[in-house]
């Protein structure tokens, strides 16, 4: 009996040490979800090529509660020498938004994206599939730098947003500011990558432009 119990403990320890592999999500393979309560979640993995603009189509099943929804979270990290790009996104979509919702705020960053799907409220079920929205410029992720130039903007208080750790930009990390040239342009030196530009507007507190590519040079 003791031997059986010891073998059972060894088996449990072995199981706990085994890595947990997330299910892969591809354009050819939709994922079906079915959450009965809050606190449930599912881990997925997406291999991004980096030269396509990929998004997610979320289709809710008719049996989902009218107030139900899900959250999609994604994380990706790229390292090149001393530079690290930490890419993240999250989006909530709800049944009352319509039978199909498109989530398109994932940067086209290459490599493995770790995705987490969880209910906002349940029960909720349906399927998620990757959709290809077309080609996008591919970034060569190196420690070389580039810049964004905004020609004579009405408001010079423009910042570029992306979570990057680069030795040439100590203390910047997520928010990069530039300077105004003699011609009235705003020049923002940056590590390569994709950025969001943010400024304030006359009628709204914040105006943003997303997925702005920066190449070396």
Q: What is the CA radius of gyration of the chain?
A: 22
Domain boundaries, the chain: 22-135, 145-214
Classify domain 22-135 at the CATH topology level.
Answer: Jelly Rolls (2.60.120)
Under 8 Å between Cβ of 153 and 199: yes
Per-residue pLDDT of the chain (217 residues; tens, 9 = 90+): 554 444 444 334 434 433 344 688 888 889 999 998 888 999 999 999 999 999 999 999 998 988 999 999 999 999 999 999 999 999 999 999 988 999 999 999 999 999 999 999 879 999 999 999 999 999 999 999 999 999 998 888 899 999 999 999 987 668 999 999 999 999 999 999 999 999 987 666 788 999 999 999 8
pLDDT of residue 203: 67
The pLDDT value recorded for residue 75 is 98
């Amino acid at each position: 009996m003791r031997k059986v119990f010891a073998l059972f403990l060894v088996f449990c320890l072995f199981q706990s040490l085994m890595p947990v592999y997330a299910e892969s999500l591809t354009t050819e393979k939709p994922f079906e979800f079915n959450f009965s309560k809050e606190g449930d979640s599912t881990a997925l993995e997406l291999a991004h090529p980096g030269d396509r603009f990929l998004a997610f189509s979320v289709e809710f099943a008719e049996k989902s509660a009218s107030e139900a929804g899900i959250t999609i979270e994604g994380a990706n990290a790229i390292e090149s020498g001393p530079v690290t790009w930490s890419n993240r996104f999250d989006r909530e979509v709800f049944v009352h938004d319509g039978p199909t919702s498109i989530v398109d705020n994932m940067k086209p960053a290459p490599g493995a994206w770790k995705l987490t799907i969880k209910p906002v409220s349940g029960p909720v079920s349906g399927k998620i599939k990757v959709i290809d929205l077309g080609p996008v410029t591919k970034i060569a992720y190196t420690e070389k730098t580039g810049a964004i130039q905004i020609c004579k903007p009405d408001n010079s208080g423009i910042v570029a947003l992306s979570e990057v750790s680069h030795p040439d930009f100590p203390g910047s990390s997520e928010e990069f500011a530039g300077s105004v040239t003699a011609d009235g342009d705003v020049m923002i030196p940056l590590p390569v990558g994709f950025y969001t530009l943010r400024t304030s507007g006359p009628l709204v507190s914040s105006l943003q432009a997303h997925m702005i590519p920066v190449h070396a040079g």
